[in-house]
Amino acid sequence: MKKKKSKKFFIVLISVLVFFVIAYFGLYLYAKVTPKLPINGANGYYLYNLDNELYTGGASENWVNLDNISSDLVNATISVEDKNFYKHQGFDFLRIIKALMINISSGRTLQGASTITQQYSKNLFLDFDKTWERKVKEAWLTIRLESHYSKDELLEGYLNTINYGGIFGIENAAKYYFDKDAKSLNLAEASILAGIPKNPSVYSPLVNEKKAKKRQKIILDSMVKNKYITQSQADAAYESKLVYKKGTNNDNLKMVMYYQDAVMDELKTIDSIPSSFLETGGIKIYTNLDTKAQNILEKSATKDITNENIQLAGMVMDPSNGKILALTGGRDYNKSQYNRATKANRQVGSTLKPFLYYSALENGFTPSTTFTSEKTTFSFSGNKTYTPKNYNDEYAGGPISLAAAIAYSDNIYAVKTDLFLGENSLPDILKRVGISKKFEPLPSLALGADEINMMQMMGAYASLANEGYKIKPYFISKVTDMSGNVLYEYNPRPENVLNKNTVYILNELLTTTYAKEFIDYNTPTCFSISSKMTRKYAVKSGTTNTDNLIFGYNKDLLVGIWTGYDDNKPVNNKDSSNIKNMWIDIMEEYLADKKAEDTWYKTPNNVVGVAIDSISGKVANDSKKAKVLYYMKGTEPTLNKSSLDESIPTVKLEE
């Protein structure tokens, strides 16, 4: 009975496939009369930097004819990807039947049956979503391509567009991995490269050479089986020692691909750009990439982040308009394509405190407002308690000013401030500056226990750096077709969400994090890099058990950096020190040609500066401890006026 059912099933299966074969040839004849698709320009995207200089392209950049590609590479690709490429008409029906039978009998998807033409049709699309609509389009494209182009033309297009581990096209890949052109690749080099496209993040030899060699062995064996080479040639190629150049012709390629990926992700969100480039024959994308900033970012990362195992995300931005000038989403794009700058959500720690303190200033606090810094257990309704700790368990054991709390990143002061203001105050400010996440009203929020994406944090910090305007961080300024017709142009729409005077006071407070006047029972959190500073910055670092962050700026530049581990392993003190050095090195080198006085903010007319004592917040009588901080006129301390009395109302959080 079971045999009969199985036989009936395969008869139905064969009948369905015969129907599709007949339907295919009908569609093939129809496709013959449709317009010819421009495959050399299709999916051709050209990325320009801030100076309108082409810095990378898509399918059409460094396009090489099939005659100028190593025959070993061509044979290796055909052998492992589609051995019947020159015999079928776009779909290998026998291979499809075999794959279906294996997958059905095993109950799992063990084999695929995509041909080179099918894979090439995928490369012509920007959108790689696994939807039925896209699969139907892909099948129709396959038929159209087969009806209009020779096999050699299709193979040439495929090899010029596939992904070799973040490097697109065989000519670019040959230059990147071996510093030679595609025609000069030998069998050993060709067979290692031919293995990458199956899974670039796994089979790139720069990611995992052991797995790449296993894949190379499969390819060489298939070439022997398909009579392209002899067994002795395969053995010699496998044993051949390969020397990888790792992109010696492009110093930026290690990290700049993260920027390119972010550009392409943003492109997908623009409704006015077609999801397929086939109708346009290519587009030009004008990005905000500042080559100088990207070079500095990468150089500083390589020099300062000495822990080779830790991961990294960094972003350089013009805070006046939201242009992202440089970016890295990891240490090395060849080893991991995951963009931690745009996709990861991490605990932000004390880098959230400036927004808490903006709210405090807006609600009557001044730089002199004091709370007691001591070990404290906070009690709430339902017998709940919360006992935050300061870094290294350092406490003043008495009242400290808001200025000192910022300098030392005092957690007790932060929680007291949060409770004083009320549970909605900080979430309201975060929403105002563009952080859209819904936050739970917990006291740990004041210490940055929530996870937030770096892009949103950069947008929020920009509102401090540009004196109160909410802006959207962005990568693409304009998109045109190949004739220069504008398809899209971004017009920043800054929205005034913060008070300029209050922002100025806060920005001045954020200079205490490296001020020598605050060396007392504790040391300012960023004092270690103060000797490198030639100008004024507002800066705040943050450390959790698993994350190191720093955000800092003046009116010309905003830089944010994160380091940590993808698996949330603990970070250490040295990692925190390294990230600060990377930040200051970027700021100083990028701004070296600007006068220091031109990069800071003008004091508003109704704001006044007063020299205060760093700890007490009272008017200073010791010049060594005196630091000029700023107040709204009428709120500044005088010799006869004390700071705000400490008074924390009983605050109960809802369960």
List active site positions: 81, 350
SS3 sequence, 96-130? HHHHHHHHHHHCCCCCCCCCHHHHHHHHCECCCCC
Contact 313, 329 (CB under 8 A): yes
What are the C-alpha distances in Å from 615 to residues 89, 351, 522?
A: 80, 21, 10
Amino acid at 406: I
Q: Which amino acid is at 609?
A: G
**Hey, which bits of 51-196 come out as E strands?**
54-57
Closest CA to 558 of 415, 461, 645: 461
Q: How many CA atoms lie within 13 A of 427 on its CB side?
A: 15
Which of these, 541, 550, 558, 549, lies nearest to 466 by C-alpha position? 558
Q: Is the dihedral of CA 365, 369, 374, 379 positive or negative?
A: negative
Q: Round to whole Å and give the CA distance between 61 and 289.
A: 19
List the Cα angle 134/137/138 in 5-degree steps: 85
3-state helix, strand, coil in the chain (%, to 5): 45, 15, 40
Query: What whole-number distance in Å separates Cα of residue 591 and Cα of residue 577?
Result: 22
* 44: nearest Cα among 126, 120, 112: 126
Q: Residue 131, class by beta-carbon neighbours within 10 Å (0-12 exposed, 13-18 middle, 19+ buried)?
A: exposed
Report the candidate in 196, 180, 160, 338 with the shortest Cα–Cα distance to residue 257: 338
Outline where 490-622 has alpha helix (H). Answer: 500-509, 573-590
Nearest residue to 298 (alpha-carbon basis) of 330, 266, 335: 330
* Angstrom distance (rounded) from CA 123 to CA 277: 10
Give the pairing of strands 283-287 and 45-48.
Answer: parallel
